[in-house]
Structure 1
Amino acid sequence: MIPRPALLSDLAGSYELTAGATVSGDLVDAVRRALPLLDLRPGDAGEIDVRRDPALGEEAYRLTVGSRGVEIVAGGPAGAFYAAQSLHQLLPAASYRFSTGTSWPVPGVRIEDAPRFAWRGLHLDVARHFFPKREILRLLDLMAMHKLNRLHLHLVDDQGWRVESRAYPLLHEVSSHRPRTATNYWREPDTYDDLPHGGYYTLDDLAEIGAYARARCVTVVPEIDVPGHASAILAAYPSLGATGERYDVLDRWGISSAILSPLPPTVEFLTTIFDELIGALGETPYVHIGGDEVVLDHWGESAEIIAYRDSLGLATSNDLQAWFLRRLADALAERGARAVVWDEAFVSGGLREDTVVMPWRGMGVGRRAAAAGHDVVATPVFPLYFDYAEAASADEPMAIGDAVTVSDVAAFDPAPDSWTEEERARVLGVQAQLWTERVPDARTVDYRLWPRACALAEVGWTGPADGFEGRLEEHLGRLDALGVEYRPLAGPHPWQRRRPHRPGVVRVSEVMARIDGMTHDAESTRPSV
């Protein structure tokens, strides 16, 4: 099973579970949502009996299978949902295919289970390449199967804005598309495909995505990355920028000097966007506001911004950025949401105490954030940037660099023993990032995410464990049944190679050495862009 349960004991006997079986008890809807292919039916005396036990945690459960049927005891709807996912994994891989009137033997077992971490996330960059709603819904199904419960959507960057705004309609009318896209390898002269690229989610799409996610015990975390990465925003509303200059939606990769103004009209603009996002998604306990890779030069060159900074009693542009992000975090708190930031924002200082920090530049800065009292979600480049190739081989499709392997992910510990007990307690969980500069379509998303996201699920739910590779080989049959175009453990299929990777262009070890000790300044670069 993936992720591995905390405790699994074999019992004598088994049970024959039939499609269309009855389920009864306290949390019937959660179990039925988890097992749509089994077409379970509610009944007074079910073959699957579900009871609620408030003494268990919300995501905890006990699952018992014997000759008389299946019993689930759960702390809440999420626990019942995850128990049903574990029950499904006790069935043959064929049960993940649609069929009617089929029955499967379920071995006798007793499982007692609860997650190690509350935050078990996947990040998908839909700004660099857009993926339509159907792909997001499919990803949510795959996340639910693996007990992953946070979907972080990177909705805006220099290369595109991806959500409808009724208050600022030029965002989706102008900023959601670009005339062409760079296709070159890292550090080569720019070459382009000359094909328009774009798309955006309507607010109705977001409402559907939010509801679909909640039904699968997943929380959507939207990201509006500010004040940098602002080319797309300033293509539509240049007056929001530090210079008033109009930018084009960027068609190449890398960092732009485009930066939003920190003046009150920008704060008003962003709080309006937050209202639209939160109103569409529904329950939105977290909103990511970025704060990374900001080139502050234009702030230091603007007399109006300098005067505003001085009026606030701030000494530097870094201080002003910290004030700006805290102002946005305050606005989110007023709306019942916590701000999430990348680690540069922590290094700048001045964050609200309840701001969650994602240390992409390594767990050293993550430990500093935890020691300072911030909750942390582990997101380091190594081994959680899935835009890196899985092997240093020309057989791999084009990637930012090499290599992050399944084994690297499976061995990762988000809260190592070398940290103090107080620091480990600040680790909310773990999240992998898929930046999509070199991920042009949904088939490549499958290839990059799976099976590395299977290892991520194990780390987030159980922690590093022995025997993962053997269980993964069996688990791949389930992915086959679901039509997931994952990377085979032996290497890509011929049709998955596409434009070949160039080994050694960028190595993770070199990237980690470069960003070790990196501080927040205009020279900071994230290696995935």
Structure 2
Amino acid sequence: MQRFLLVFSILISNVFFSQIKPNLIPKPQKNEILKGNFTLPEILVLSGDLPKEETEYFKKRLSSQLKFQYAQKGGGIHLTNSIITSLPKDYDQKKEYYSLEILPKQIHIKSYTEQGYFRALQTLSQLFEEHWDNRKIPCLKIEDHPEFSWRGMHLDVCRHFFTVDEVKQYIDYLAMYKLNTFHWHLTDDQGWRIEIKKYPKLTQIGSKRKESMIGAYVDDTFDGKPYGPFFYTQEQIRDVVQYAQKRHITIVPEIEMPGHALAALSAYPELACTKGPFEPATKWGVFDDVFCPKDETFTFLENVLDEVIQLFPSQYIHIGGDECPKTRWKVCTHCQELIRKNNLKDEHGLQSYFIQRIEKYVNKKGRKIIGWDEILEGGLAPNAAVMSWTGIKGGIEAAKTGHFAVMTPGAYCYFDHYQGDPQSEPNAFGGFTPLDKVYSYNPIPLELNAEQAKYILGVQANLWTEYIQDFKQVQYMIFPRIMALSEVAWGTADSKNYREFENRVIQQFKVLDKMNINYAKSIYNISVKVIPNNSGVAYELSTSQDPKGIRYTLDGTEPTASSQVYQNAVPVSESLIIKSAYFENGQLKSAVSSQQFSVSKTTGKSITLEQQPNENYSFGGAFTLVDGIIGNPGQLGKTWLGFQGKDVVATIDLGQKTDFSEVYFNTLDNKGSWIHLAKAAQVFISDDNKNFKKIKEIGREEILKGKGKIKLNIGNQTSKYIKVKIENAGIIPAGNPGADSKAWLFVDEIGVL
């Protein structure tokens, strides 16, 4: 066991009792406030036998504020030993354990390892940064350790590339908040970003594309500008790996297979099921051409992995495994013969064969594989770990069968989603994952017992970069959500005390300002919620600041400091536009939130769904379909519900017999993202919610004609209940991205006039 002592000696100390708790993120496991204060001196004296790399990092982080000198052994400065000699026997995370004691004249750190020492320095750095202005840190004692061993952030450098210096900054952000795993997504359809010396064409051809998709996710518009060549040399990668190691961060590289392979196939088309030619994708989404599971493909991938393993010392190698269409495999003679020869059930069994063969090779090299939860298809490889992204089911299945899992469900951990009102946020991929939702996540599924829960390694957030073109936008998308993730991963998040966490986040903004980090200020914006009331719906506004500062208008004009003061939820009984904002001392402090309501006879009424939406696109639940808000087709945010492979069957209770003659709803069409228009729709009415009569049906042609905007004239009707069934397109047909997979159906408002 190694023991380290850090002592800061000072000449002057003012002592008084303070009960103010420090604004640390993540919150420590134990934090005791002591009497007195440690006054920051002009020069901090460090004991001379501290771990060098970690201490130098600490000095660099604070060098603009402090000067340092080392105490020489045998010198005249008094050093007091303060060492922990034992820990509970059942303590399994002691490698990152530390204690920190701040006294009026000295600061003591105790740890078992350099790793624990480094975590302590992150805590100490935050304390120094928070109290730098008054130069007094309250005396306290912290005992701390993480709950989870995998605390990760991911970065996609394929859709958009980031320089070595920017990647290093990203790693520093992880270190600031005690995260310990950097998942580096290095290959995809749109770009191959890692030099492989045996296959130079991977970067000569695969690291560039002729143009890039731009605009809203549902638009097929392009910038017409060549992108690349962009990639990291092996020398650069070694430099980044060493940089991360000094910060006790493990880099897990991802080499995508068998899908997301267009960039590789562009360089080596012989590895595909068809002859090509191919080119790196200019669109986002999923593509049919994937690696063909033939011997030359496995030789290629094994050679690639040999070089990857030499560069990255991580225990795990991420092999992707997600979103692999089976279209080419279904008609490939070699693939079909392989299925017969190995007695595989189908193409999903072939995917399992592919993954298991790669796993055996990686295991021979002394490493393990981890992949997205689609590697469960056809049976999980014996020693593989699962990264559960499509929800939590993959992680649950893995843990129950004795496989390790990292939880990263899109609904909580995808930082390419909107984090504030989509109308006032930069264009994003879709979804809605605000700070409080990230903070509310519990990585241990309730379905697991204590023994099974041990297989949950931890939690990770992912940043896909389709709509993130520069590093300032990277900063914007991860801050402040990385702070919520860090506290969830550390195991001290408490969603019941979210406001207390939010206040700590606001204090951290002062540090981010000094670091010139471009963080999202959505926390200051008006939070809005539509709730039912007697006359339809009501628009509820709130803010993390003084609610008396909220101003709003009902006529579509911009709110000012003299606009109406918000007191209670605003009733909405007719179509209108509400605009709101937060003001402080007469000055606008937030973005202006604008919401248009289109009120119909279903607005605010009780609604039930026979099948629930995917959790990534379920904000507001069924009520989203009767909240009076028409979805923006360019923003798959909180105004849409998304269903994969499921029909929408919604029953609305109008409260009493009601006359109506028109039903309307909208669906989306973006085949590149597997989003397809409905194939049919039916309308039913009932007075008892049991016996329904069909009054209208339309097919695919009428839906295509309306381009997803459906208005149905149903004649003069009177009923208490109305049921609308909107049929999912089902399995995506050949010739479309994602062929043979379940189509997505997006629906916004179901209105009745």
TM-score (norm. length: structure 1): 0.90
* Shift in alpha-carbon separation, 1:23–1:278, aligned structure 2, 3 A: farther
Distance in 2 between residues matched to 1:172 and 1:193, nearest whole Å: 22
Distance in 2 between residues matched to 1:510 and 1:463, nearest whole Å: 32
Q: Once the two structures are superposed, what CA deviation does each residue of 1:293-325 show, in whole Å capped at 9, x if it has no partner?
A: 111121221212322333333232211210111
Partner of 2:237: 206
Matches within 5 A, 1:436-475: 436-465=465-494, 466=497, 467-475=500-508
| CA contact 1:361–1:515 (8 Å) conserved in 2 | no
Partner of 2:111: 74
| CA contact 1:415–1:427 (8 Å) conserved in 2 | yes
| Structure 1 residue 10, shift from structure 2 partner | 0.8
Distance in 1 between residues matched to 2:256 and 2:508, nearest whole Å: 36
Distance in 2 between residues matched to 1:172 and 1:46, nearest whole Å: 58
Distance in 2 between residues matched to 1:29 and 1:502, nearest whole Å: 51
What is the one-letter code of the residue matched to 1:30? E
Distance in 2 between residues matched to 1:266 and 1:50, nearest whole Å: 58
* Shift in alpha-carbon separation, 1:257–1:122, aligned structure 2, 3 A: same
| Structure 1 residue 515, shift from structure 2 partner | 7.3
* Shift in alpha-carbon separation, 1:46–1:429, aligned structure 2, 3 A: farther
What is the one-letter code of the residue matched to 2:358? L
Matches within 5 A, 1:39-54: 40-43=68-71, 44=73
| Structure 1 residue 33, shift from structure 2 partner | 2.4
| Structure 1 residue 335, shift from structure 2 partner | 1.8
SS, match of residue 154 in structure 2? strand
Q: Once the two structures are superposed, what CA deviation does each residue of 1:174-232 show, in whole Å capped at 9, x if it has no partner?
A: 100111101132223x1111112121111011101110001001100110111011111
| CA contact 1:149–1:218 (8 Å) conserved in 2 | yes
Partner of 2:181: 150
* Shift in alpha-carbon separation, 1:468–1:315, aligned structure 2, 3 A: same
Indicate which of 524, 547, 572 corresponds to 1:490: 524
| CA contact 2:218–2:633 (8 Å) conserved in 1 | no
| Structure 1 residue 481, shift from structure 2 partner | 1.6
Q: Please list every run of 5 or more consecutive structure 1 residues that lacks an aligned counterpart in the other structure.
A: 96-101
How many residue pairs get aligned? The number is: 515
| Structure 1 residue 47, shift from structure 2 partner | 7.0
SS, match of residue 72 in structure 1? strand
| Structure 1 residue 144, shift from structure 2 partner | 0.3
Partner of 1:99: none
| CA contact 1:92–1:104 (8 Å) conserved in 2 | no
Matches within 5 A, 1:23-422: 23-25=47-49, 27-38=51-62, 40-43=68-71, 44=73, 55=87, 57-93=94-130, 104-188=135-219, 190-198=220-228, 199-281=230-312, 283-352=313-382, 354-422=383-451
What is the RMSD of the two structures over their aligned residues, measured on CA atoms? 3.0
| Structure 1 residue 275, shift from structure 2 partner | 1.6
SS, match of residue 120 in structure 1? strand
* Shift in alpha-carbon separation, 1:451–1:232, aligned structure 2, 3 A: same
| CA contact 2:418–2:432 (8 Å) conserved in 1 | yes
SS, match of residue 434 in structure 1? coil
| CA contact 1:323–1:350 (8 Å) conserved in 2 | no
Distance in 1 between residues matched to 2:639 and 2:452, nearest whole Å: 26
| Structure 1 residue 370, shift from structure 2 partner | 1.3
Partner of 1:98: none
SS, match of residue 456 in structure 1? helix
Q: Please list every run of 5 or more consecutive structure 2 residues that lacks an aligned counterpart in the other structure.
A: 1-23, 527-587, 593-630, 648-729, 732-737, 746-753
| CA contact 1:51–1:73 (8 Å) conserved in 2 | yes
Instruction: Say yes or no: does 1:506 pair with 2:636.
Output: yes
Q: Once the two structures are superposed, what CA deviation does each residue of 1:112-163 show, in whole Å capped at 9, x if it has no partner?
A: 0000111110011111111111110001111101001111111111111001
SS, match of residue 108 in structure 1? strand
Distance in 2 between residues matched to 1:521 and 1:372, nearest whole Å: 30
Q: Which fold has the larger relative contact order, with Cα–Cα distance below 8 Å and residues 6 or more apart in sequence?
A: 1
| CA contact 1:240–1:265 (8 Å) conserved in 2 | yes
Distance in 2 between residues matched to 1:24 and 1:516, nearest whole Å: 65
Partner of 1:523: 741
Larger Rg over CA atoms: 2
Distance in 2 between residues matched to 1:526 and 1:439, nearest whole Å: 24
Partner of 1:12: 35
| Structure 1 residue 25, shift from structure 2 partner | 4.2
What is the one-letter code of the residue matched to 1:522? D
SS, match of residue 95 in structure 2? coil
Q: Once the two structures are superposed, what CA deviation does each residue of 1:24-81 show, in whole Å capped at 9, x if it has no partner?
A: 4454542332442345554436879786867470011000010231111112111100
Distance in 2 between residues matched to 1:89 and 1:523, nearest whole Å: 47
Distance in 2 between residues matched to 1:41 and 1:443, nearest whole Å: 35
| Structure 1 residue 271, shift from structure 2 partner | 1.5
SS, match of residue 473 in structure 1? helix
What is the one-letter code of the residue matched to 2:136? P
Distance in 2 between residues matched to 1:357 and 1:106, nearest whole Å: 43
Partner of 2:529: none
Q: Once the two structures are superposed, what CA deviation does each residue of 1:342-400 show, in whole Å capped at 9, x if it has no partner?
A: 11111331312x31111111113321221121111111011111111112331100012
What is the one-letter code of the residue matched to 1:449? I
- Between the aligned residues of both structures, percent identity stands at 31
What is the one-letter code of the residue matched to 1:430? V
What is the one-letter code of the residue matched to 1:21? V
Distance in 2 between residues matched to 1:52 and 1:266, nearest whole Å: 54
Distance in 1 between residues matched to 2:304 and 2:590, nearest whole Å: 41
What is the one-letter code of the residue matched to 1:383? Y
* Shift in alpha-carbon separation, 1:382–1:309, aligned structure 2, 3 A: same
Q: Once the two structures are superposed, what CA deviation does each residue of 1:463-509 show, in whole Å capped at 9, x if it has no partner?
A: 42222111111111111121110001225999999xxx958732469
SS, match of residue 459 in structure 2? strand
Distance in 2 between residues matched to 1:495 and 1:196, nearest whole Å: 37
* Shift in alpha-carbon separation, 1:376–1:463, aligned structure 2, 3 A: farther
SS, match of residue 409 in structure 1? helix
What is the one-letter code of the residue matched to 1:390? Q
SS, match of residue 197 in structure 1? coil
Structure having the larger proportion of residues in helix: 1
Distance in 2 between residues matched to 1:147 and 1:270, nearest whole Å: 34
Distance in 1 between residues matched to 2:214 and 2:430, nearest whole Å: 15
| Structure 1 residue 94, shift from structure 2 partner | 7.7
* Shift in alpha-carbon separation, 1:290–1:216, aligned structure 2, 3 A: same
| CA contact 1:5–1:462 (8 Å) conserved in 2 | no
* Shift in alpha-carbon separation, 1:303–1:370, aligned structure 2, 3 A: same
